[in-house]
């Protein structure tokens, strides 16, 4: 039985990853178009190309991690080796060089490709650790829940800190002109804010390395064969793994949902809700609604969803809990379309819907990570080898595909609806068509992704009872290799 400190330590890893991931999802499209100075079309293509490359690199990293052997284990050492490059790459991504447009575009491609490559190099092995930290399905659920609880905790810290840090380093001298977004237009302020976040990420990844350990020796019964294992064998086994395909599809749908809503939020508040907005007074204190407040409420409620994931899974099973949660998120997301961009009642309804949506979304992620660990066991049971790193890298690949299409889709749709990027300090009143695009991106479009994910999950065949049988047989096969 793992100690509490190890569960917390494992959570620190995704706390760090999620701080970067949420900033990239929520603010990077806005940064590239409204601060860095790229056109919507160029920024959209940049996000698509870099994340598609990153998605392709994920299985390669999984294969490499599966074949790593050190005194610290297969996957854990990457937390130590890649933590510093991870932090540095994040700062470079939010650095605006004094180049012409073409030079800046090349810089953006190079730094973001570097960032996503380094993200893969640390996050794929980190995810694969779940399959070797415990052989027990229930304990994996607990580890996964700690992971996602801290992931949303990191996301909350990032979104709660990032805008205030940008304003602090910008000395409130220049604000984005898109209707009071209250974010500095000064690129150096964004870079300085990212340095603070990057240092925190470095520290938490190092703590994750120090507090965790690998317990399960994967494919122990086939140790003689493992030295001759071929990449082709693992890939063929993966392609024949039906549950893997299903989870891949579900993950892509959910990440499209998250990326569209997250990427559109900054624009939505800049041009529809009009930045920092007065909601009323409570106990004599003014309550303001801003993008940061909206996103922070979402992250807190995501954490609540993570807490509910394990008891829900125990009560109705992981598959049923997942379907119910994603449908709740989808239905209430669609209701966003009915909200007006003005009036205190509408602002409170925005927060209420955000809370419900985020609880539902929070339930889904620890369940899907636990299911990927089950898929690795299913592969070992069926093929004699689990390829934990390759399987977990596929989940990261799904995130990148979903994030690539989701973030790029936001920018392309805004361009199609006629969204205008302000020049300098000019204030732009967006057209009715552009506002309609913003409303759609926050409502029925991501809701369709939720519905698609629920329909795909209906096909998932590994019930809790089936996994209990598989793990009992694997326990006999592995013998004394779990320690």
Where are the chain's structural domains? Answer: 7-212+231-478
pLDDT digits (tens, 9 = 90+) for 2-35: 789 999 999 999 999 999 988 998 899 989 998 9
pLDDT band for position 386 (cuts 50, 70, 90) = low
Q: How far apart are alpha carbons 159 and 157 in whole angstroms?
A: 6
Least-confidence region, from 57-66, 329-338, 358-367? 57-66
**pLDDT above 90 for 387:** no
Region 310-335 average pLDDT:
94
pLDDT digits (tens, 9 = 90+) for 166-192: 888 876 444 443 434 456 778 999 999
pLDDT digits (tens, 9 = 90+) for 400-411: 677 777 888 889
Q: What is the pLDDT of residue 141?
A: 76
**pLDDT above 50 for 228:** no
Q: What is the pLDDT of residue 131?
A: 78
Q: What is the pLDDT of residue 175?
A: 45
Strand partners, 70: 73
pLDDT band for position 227 (cuts 50, 70, 90) = very low
pLDDT band for position 206 (cuts 50, 70, 90) = very high
pLDDT band for position 38 (cuts 50, 70, 90) = very high
Which superfamily, per CATH, for 7-212+231-478? MFS general substrate transporter like domains (1.20.1250.20)
Angle between helices 4-31 and 388-416 (to 10 degrees): 30
Q: How far apart are alpha carbons 158 and 296 in whole angstroms?
A: 9
Residue 224 is encoded by which pair of tokens?
């003689």
pLDDT band for position 132 (cuts 50, 70, 90) = confident
Q: How far apart are alpha carbons 192 and 168 in whole angstroms?
A: 10
pLDDT digits (tens, 9 = 90+) for 82-93: 999 999 999 999
Q: What is the pLDDT of residue 15?
A: 94
Which stretch, 214-228, 370-384, 443-457, has highest mean pLDDT? 443-457
Q: Are 99 and 446 in contact (CB under 8 A)?
A: no
Q: What is the pLDDT of residue 173?
A: 43
Q: What is the pLDDT of residue 222?
A: 44
What's the whole-model pTM score?
Answer: 0.76
pLDDT band for position 69 (cuts 50, 70, 90) = confident
Q: How far apart are alpha carbons 445 and 264 in whole angstroms?
A: 11
Q: What is the pLDDT of residue 63?
A: 81
pLDDT band for position 319 (cuts 50, 70, 90) = very high
Least-confidence region, from 41-50, 58-67, 190-199, 451-460? 58-67
């Amino acid at each position: 039985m793992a100690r509490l400190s190890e569960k917390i330590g494992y959570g620190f890893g995704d706390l760090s990853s999620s701080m970067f991931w949420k900033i990239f999802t929520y603010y990077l499209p806005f940064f590239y178009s409204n601060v860095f100075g790229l056109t919507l079309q160029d920024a959209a293509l940049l996000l698509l190309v870099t994340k598609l490359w990153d998605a392709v690199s994920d299985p390669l990293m999984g294969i490499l991690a599966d074949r790593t052997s050190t005194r610290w284990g297969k996957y854990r050492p990457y937390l130590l080796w890649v933590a510093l490059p991870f932090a540095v790459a994040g700062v470079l991504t939010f650095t605006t060089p004094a180049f012409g447009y073409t030079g800046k575009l090349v810089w953006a491609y190079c730094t973001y490709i570097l960032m996503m490559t380094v993200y893969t190099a640390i996050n794929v092995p980190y995810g694969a650790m779940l399959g070797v930290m415990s052989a027990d399905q229930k304990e994996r659920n607990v580890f996964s829940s700690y992971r996602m609880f801290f992931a949303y905790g990191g996301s909350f810290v990032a979104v709660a800190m990032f805008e205030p840090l940008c304003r602090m380093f910008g000395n409130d001298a220049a604000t984005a002109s898109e209707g009071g977004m209250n974010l500095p237009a000064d690129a150096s302020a964004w870079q300085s804010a990212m340095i603070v976040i990057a240092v925190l990420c470095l520290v938490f990844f190092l703590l994750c390395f120090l507090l965790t350990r690998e317990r399960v020796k994967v494919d122990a019964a086939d140790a003689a064969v493992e030295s001759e294992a071929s990449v082709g064998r693992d890939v063929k086994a993966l392609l024949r793994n039906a549950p893997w395909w299903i989870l891949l599809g579900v993950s892509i749908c959910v990440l499209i949902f998250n990326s569209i809503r997250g990427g559109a939020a900054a624009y939505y508040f800049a041009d529809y809700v009009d930045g920092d907005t007065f909601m009323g007074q409570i106990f004599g204190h003014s309550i303001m609604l801003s993008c940061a407040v909206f996103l922070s409420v979402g992250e807190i409620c995501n954490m609540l969803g993570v807490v509910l994931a394990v008891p829900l899974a125990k009560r109705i099973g992981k598959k049923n809990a997942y379907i119910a949660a994603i449908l709740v998120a989808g239905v209430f997301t669609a209701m966003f379309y009915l909200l007006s961009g003005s009036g205190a009642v509408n602002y409170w309804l925005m927060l209420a819907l955000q809370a419900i949506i985020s609880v539902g979304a929070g339930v889904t992620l620890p369940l899907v990570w636990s299911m990927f660990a089950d898929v690795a066991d299913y592969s070992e049971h069926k093929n004699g080898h689990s390829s934990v790193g390759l399987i977990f890298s596929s989940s990261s690949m799904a995130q990148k595909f979903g994030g690539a299409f989701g973030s790029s889709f936001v920018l392309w749709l805004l361009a199609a609806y006629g969204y205008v990027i302000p020049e300098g300090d000019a204030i732009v009143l967006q057209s009715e068509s552009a506002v309609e695009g913003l409303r759609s991106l926050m409502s029925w479009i991501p809701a369709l992704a939720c519905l698609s994910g629920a329909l795909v999950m209906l096909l998932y065949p590994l019930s809790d009872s089936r996994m209990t049988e598989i793990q009992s047989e694997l326990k006999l096969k592995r013998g004394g290799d779990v320690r």
